[in-house]
């Protein structure tokens, strides 16, 4: 038997993003979690629980903590 996430992805396509609330994206199209739950006859909370975790994109500058190879006074 397929898992709930596999059933979601068989209907909508590969889940590529989730806003941690009520919207997920599959095939670059937003979908409402409540509609997916109703279509799959599942609880909204269960649908939210099976969504993959995506890390937030890193923005801004790189860290300026670049170390140079210079000898220390204690360790020449």
Looking at per-residue confidence, does 58 or 19 come out higher?
19
Q: What is the DSSP string of 15-74?
A: EEEE-SSSEEEETTEEEEHHHHHHHHT--HHHHHHHSPP-PPPP-SPPP--PPP----SS
Q: Is the pLDDT of residue 75 over 70?
A: no
In a domain, 67, yes or no: no
pLDDT of residue 59: 80
In a domain, 12, yes or no: yes
Could you tell me the residue range of the domain that residue 21 belongs to? 4-50
Q: Are 26 and 32 in contact (CB under 8 A)?
A: no
In a domain, 73, yes or no: no
Structural domain tally of the chain? 1
Q: Is the pLDDT of residue 2 over 70?
A: yes
pLDDT of residue 8: 95
In a domain, 36, yes or no: yes
In a domain, 11, yes or no: yes
In a domain, 39, yes or no: yes
In a domain, 34, yes or no: yes
In a domain, 64, yes or no: no
The string of pLDDT tens digits covering residues 23-67 is: 999 999 999 999 999 999 999 999 999 998 877 777 877 665 655
């Amino acid at each position: 038997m397929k898992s709930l996430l596999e059933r979601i992805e068989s209907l909508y396509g590969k889940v590529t993003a989730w806003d941690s609330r009520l919207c997920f994206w599959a095939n670059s199209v937003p979908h409402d979690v409540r509609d997916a739950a109703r279509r799959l006859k599942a609880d909204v909370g269960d649908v939210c629980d099976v969504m993959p975790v995506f890390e937030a994109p890193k923005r801004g500058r790189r860290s300026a903590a670049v170390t140079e190879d210079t000898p220390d006074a204690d360790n020449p």
